[in-house]
Amino acid sequence: MKKPDSRIALTALVLFWAGWIALTASSTATMPFQKKAKELGFPADNCLYCHNEKLPRKGAVTKNTRGEWLVAEKEKRHAKEVDVNWLKYYPFDKK
């Protein structure tokens, strides 16, 4: 029979792992997003197009106005991930 201490440790480990997965799964930006944006004609030369960092690191990411808008669209549309096609509806780039 297992000791209660090992059962508590295992439970804590499983809870930590589940929390880690739940919190880190929200990372959305990827190089394919940037590539697709460029293919669609948007001037996404680097990560600064949607982020405040030239090379965002997971867990230390801040988004600029465009990035915040894309995340809001994702939530509004109940989508699993951001779709760069939405950039054509981005209201702040219009002249």
Q: In this model, does residue 75 exceed pLDDT 60?
A: yes
Q: What percent of the chain has pLDDT over 90?
A: 45
Task: Dump pLDDT digits (tens) for 10-19.
Answer: 777 777 666 6
- Secondary structure tally for the chain: helices H, strands E: 3, 0
The pair phi, psi for residue 51, each rounded to 5°, is -120, 165
pLDDT tier at 93, thresholds 50, 70, 90: confident
The pair phi, psi for residue 45, each rounded to 5°, is -75, -25
Q: In this model, does residue 79 exceed pLDDT 50?
A: yes
pTM: 0.65
